[in-house]
Structure 1
Amino acid sequence: MPEQMTLNRPDLIALNDGAAIPQLGLGVWQVDPAITAEVVGWGIEAGYRLIDTAEGYQNEEGVGQAIRKAGVPRGELFITSKLRNGAHQRDAALRAFDETMEKLGIEQLDLFLIHWPVPSQGKYVEAWKTLVELRQAGRIKSIGVSNFNQDHLERIIGETGVTPVVNQIELHPRFQQRAARDFHARRNIRIESWSPLGSGRLLSDPTLAGIAGKHGKSVAQIIIRWHLQEGLIVIPKSNHQDRIAANFDVFDFELDAKDLETIGGMDAPDGRNGANPATAAFLF
């Protein structure tokens, strides 16, 4: 059953290592490094406490600037970054992590993920072992992955005995990943939805527009609320201050059973917009 949200604020979602992550966060994928500090500042002002960046986004420095300017205690913020695909080898991963921490300007990272498994490269197990090492050294609180399929997850767990706390995957109403979600639930791995608005393609969907009209909300707010009520961690992104604030304003209503049934019926096997983790081989 979907987990129930507490109205007026994001819930904290328990992770399998004893930590907790805000359920609603701000993503900064494709946010221009020149405006990242301003965008993240708007997000923190609106109430976001989870900020999700990555080495490959090239905007970690802007996130760090926003953290320092925010006037919010560091302990109230949950900062995530991700290891770039070309740094899976241990020494390269350690160097890349040092660069991430220097750019962010923080002493400890809340969550670090392997961005993509790149199975053709054959080094994601080595990368996972390096993340385990960094966590044991106290430099990272929690470790996880992104874009890992079931076989990738089973391999790293089998070879290390360490289960990721989170897998960040493409997930939205047109690509609901039900089978993957069942596997993750059995393994107690939390799913974090990237491209939660379907890369913007769902914002003009007539079915969602109908639900939005019923609740007096925007389509984006309906989609974000759906993620929350489905028990998913969700990280919408925007470059616009008003949309950033609106995307956080989703705690004064709930989707009813009919709404959830209707959105559940939108799932499509060809709904993926991004790359397939089984074949994605790009390095950055």
Structure 2
Amino acid sequence: MSDFSGGVDTASAPSPAELAAAHGLTISGRRPSLAAYTAQLWSRRHFIVAFATARLTAMYTAARLGQIWQVMTPLLNAAVYYLIFGLLLGTNRGIPNFIAYLCTGVFVFQFTQSAVLAGTRSIADNLGLIRALHFPRACLPIAFTVIQLQQLIFSMGVLGVIVLATGEPLTWRWLLIVPVLLLQSVFNAGLALFMARIGAKTTDMAQLMPFVLRTWMYLSGVFWAVSSFTADAPRWVATVLNLNPALIFNDLMRYALMESVTASLLPSHVWVIAAGWALLVGLAGYVFFWRAEEEYGRG
């Protein structure tokens, strides 16, 4: 039967849902599958690197010393910690080459600390970009992790000079810097993704995280030897402290750079633990972030 408006049989007309399915249309902003999302993210890898490089270049343009602050910040932190913990509190006792030990811990932990802080703010601080352009939102926390990695690589040259100047020789173990940074970068990216989703919903988290990270730093052997404490501590306390991922990455970098740090001083199966933390946190953070993909930038 035809209606009076134009003689079209409305009973046989396809519904909007059927038309959308026939022409490959999907709901705007709908979260893609994890595999499709990963493919989209990989296709934008050049954007991630370009975005990170541009942000890093612009970060210090207003400062008179420019990108020198990439090195000055961890060095000044190391100087303050040396004054407090090395000279005043005496935590350097029993640690050979405490200056290299301290500087390595500060540089390595700051990589994780800065990545987590930047990841926490990555969505909330870039709502204009998120609402204006369509791209996998995971690009942002990953890009900010790349920024921190670029800063660390720039600073590693200075750290190497410090280590050599304090009497450590240049050995084949310095080649281990590459796998250590690779594992730590995956771990940091996972943490940044995890905190990006939380920070997008709870903006006050950016104010809380510095206190959480400072507490984590005190437990990570940055300026004291964990082994000196765990020797008399209960077994479960020693186990928890030795499984601390920040401590694991600190110890591995010290082992790579310092001949005075021997394999016997490292936790058992340290490389397995480091790889486990990187895979666990990297994958868990990625999936956790992806599950809220359609929510970022709304409301």
Bigger Rg, which one: 2
TM-score over 0.5 (shorter chain): no
> Greater share of helix residues, 1 or 2?
2
> Greater share of strand residues, 1 or 2?
1
TM-score by structure 1 length?
0.23
